[in-house]
């Protein structure tokens, strides 16, 4: 009799749970005793559509620190935490990515040379090239904290070093916030350019086009520096980073229109190494890992984190990365990216 009552009770509970779920679209959790708990509304994370396709993380950007010594007014990856993973955990994550198909890693930030005076970065660069044998290891940096001794120790393991420079006018750099104290950003740029030549690292330049440099003509200086690639970004707004509530920057005054961006590109059409990146191209064509090794989905104009690859693995986390492989290929994300394959004149 008691058994029969128990069976009828669990059948009715299951039926009720099914009906409730259909009608209200909310998740109803069964308790261990088979009773219904209070309906839980779907969280933001559950509402996001995971991608059904299997994505290969062939090229990954790991922003392992948010700390920085510069104060660029448009910055979209700000010092919201001071967290950095212990190096052994970071290496474990990098190994997981390699096993999932990673071929290229780019270390970014914040300023990647700030943590442990560049030694943390150096050890990860060495690990990725020597132990994981990745075809391409690169860094993007503001260039201000790099020392020649770093190249002596780690230069062999690095394929590409990108240095950000938004203007060849020192005053414009200062207005943007690209600078620290009296040090010259442009002197640093030239110094690093020479070290890259001496230590056989491919030299790249990144520029963010914004209201303060949009009318500049950089053709002469870029041609003289002759980088392997000149990435030209249209200044991008990310809610919670450089706009809106809880953001550490207000970048609206830096934003330019699509037409202004196009005019800048037209002015520089003779520069062969120029690779343009409009706002639309940038939002969904990068695989971004934050300091906890969570993928950041930028499709909604903000950075929505997945779970950490260290907790759920790459395959599960990447479903929430918002990464569009087609867009990645369309923006020329896959190129000759190891220094051995580049026909560089040293």
Active site residues: 68, 72, 75
Nearer to ligand SAM, 188 or 242 (CB): 242
> Least distance to ligand SAM from the beta carbon of 73, Å?
9
Nearer to ligand SF4, 158 or 165 (CB): 165
CA 193 – CA 44 distance, rounded (Å): 45
Cβ count near 250 (within 10 Å): 13
- Total residues at the site for ligand SAM (CB under 6 A)? 19
Nearer to ligand SF4, 112 or 227 (CB): 112
**Does residue 75 touch ligand SF4 according to CB under 6 A?**
yes
Q: What are phi and psi of 128, to 5 degrees?
A: -65, -40
The residue within the footprint of ligand SAM, chosen from 138, 173, 242, 321 (CB under 6 A), is 242
**Does residue 228 touch ligand SAM according to CB under 6 A?**
no
**Long-range CB contact pairs, 180-186, < 8 A, 24+:** 180/69, 180/70, 180/144, 183/144, 185/142, 185/143, 185/144
CA dihedral in degrees (182, 186, 191, 197; nearest 10)?
160
Residue with tokens 């056989």: 200
> Least distance to ligand SF4 from the beta carbon of 178, Å?
6
Nearer to ligand SAM, 97 or 235 (CB): 235
Q: Which of 184, 181, 227 is nearest to 204 (CA)?
A: 227
Q: What share of the chain is helix, strand, coil (3-state, %, to 5)?
A: 40, 15, 45
Helix (H) or strand (E) holding 276: strand 274-277
The residue within the footprint of ligand SAM, chosen from 208, 274, 309, 314 (CB under 6 A), is 208
CA 101 – CA 245 distance, rounded (Å): 37
Nearer to ligand SAM, 109 or 179 (CB): 109
The DSSP call for residue 36 is: B
**Does residue 105 touch ligand SAM according to CB under 6 A?**
no
**Does residue 306 touch ligand SAM according to CB under 6 A?**
no
CA 142 – CA 219 distance, rounded (Å): 21
Which range in 16-24, 68-76, 145-153, 311-319 contacts ligand SAM by CB under 6 A? 68-76
**243 DSSP β-pair partners:** 239
Nearer to ligand SF4, 288 or 317 (CB): 288
> Least distance to ligand SAM from the beta carbon of 23, Å?
44
Nearer to ligand SAM, 84 or 100 (CB): 84
- List helix spans (H) across the chain: 2-24, 44-47, 87-99, 119-126, 148-154, 170-176, 185-198, 219-225, 258-267, 279-284, 309-312, 314-317, 325-330
> Least distance to ligand SAM from the beta carbon of 236, Å?
4
Which range in 23-31, 103-111, 194-202, 235-243 contacts ligand SF4 by CB under 6 A? 103-111
**Does residue 337 touch ligand SF4 according to CB under 6 A?**
no
The residue within the footprint of ligand SF4, chosen from 58, 59, 62, 70 (CB under 6 A), is 70
The contact pattern for ligand SF4, residues 110-149, with x = CB under 6 A and - = no contact, is xx------------------------------x-------
Which range in 108-116, 193-201, 270-278, 285-293 contacts ligand SF4 by CB under 6 A? 108-116
Burial 190-215 (b: 16+ CB within 10 A, else e): ebbbebbeebebbbbbbbbbbbbbbe
**How is residue 268 written in tokens?**
């520089």
Cα distances (Å, whole numbers) of residue 269 to 41, 89, 219, 251, 266 = 52, 44, 9, 27, 5
> Least distance to ligand SF4 from the beta carbon of 108, Å?
8
Binding site for ligand SF4 (CB under 6 A): 68, 70-72, 75, 77, 109-111, 142
Residues at the interface with ligand SAM (CB under 6 A): 68, 74-77, 108-109, 111, 140-142, 164, 206, 208, 233, 235-236, 242, 251
């Amino acid at each position: 009799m008691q058994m029969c009552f128990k069976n009828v009770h669990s059948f009715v509970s299951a039926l009720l749970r099914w009906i409730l779920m259909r009608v209200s679209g909310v998740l109803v959790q069964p308790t261990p005793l088979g009773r219904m708990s209070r309906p839980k509304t779907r969280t933001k994370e559950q509402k996001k559509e995971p991608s059904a396709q299997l994505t290969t993380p062939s090229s990954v950007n790991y922003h392992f620190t948010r700390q920085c010594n510069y104060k660029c007014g448009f910055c979209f990856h700000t010092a919201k935490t001071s967290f950095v993973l212990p190096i052994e955990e970071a290496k474990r994550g990098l190994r997981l990515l390699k096993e999932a198909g990673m071929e290229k890693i780019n270390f970014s930030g914040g300023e990647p040379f700030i943590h442990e005076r560049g030694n943390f970065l150096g050890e990860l660069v060495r690990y990725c090239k020597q132990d994981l044998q990745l075809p391409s290891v690169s860094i993007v940096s503001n260039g201000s904290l790099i020392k020649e001794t770093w190249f002596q120790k780690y230069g062999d393991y690095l394929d590409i070093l990108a240095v950000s420079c938004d203007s060849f006018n020192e005053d414009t750099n200062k207005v943007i916030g690209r600078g620290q104290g009296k040090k010259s950003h442009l002197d640093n740029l030239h110094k690093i350019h020479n070290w890259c030549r001496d230590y056989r690292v491919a030299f790249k330049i990144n520029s963010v086009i914004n209201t303060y440099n949009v009318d500049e003509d950089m053709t002469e200086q870029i041609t003289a520096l002759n980088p392997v690639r000149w990435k030209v970004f249209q200044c991008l707004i990310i809610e919670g980073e450089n706009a809106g509530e809880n953001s550490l920057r207000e970048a609206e005054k830096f934003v330019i229109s699509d037409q202004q961006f196009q005019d800048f590109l037209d002015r520089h059409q003779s520069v062969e190494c120029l690779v343009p990146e409009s706002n639309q191209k940038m939002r969904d064509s990068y695989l971004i890992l934050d300091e906890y090794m969570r993928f950041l989905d930028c499709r909604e104009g903000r950075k929505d984190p997945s779970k950490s690859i260290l907790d759920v693995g790459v395959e599960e986390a990447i479903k929430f990365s918002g990464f569009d492989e087609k867009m990645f290929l369309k923006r020329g994300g896959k190129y000759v990216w190891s220094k051995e394959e580049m026909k560089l004149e040293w």
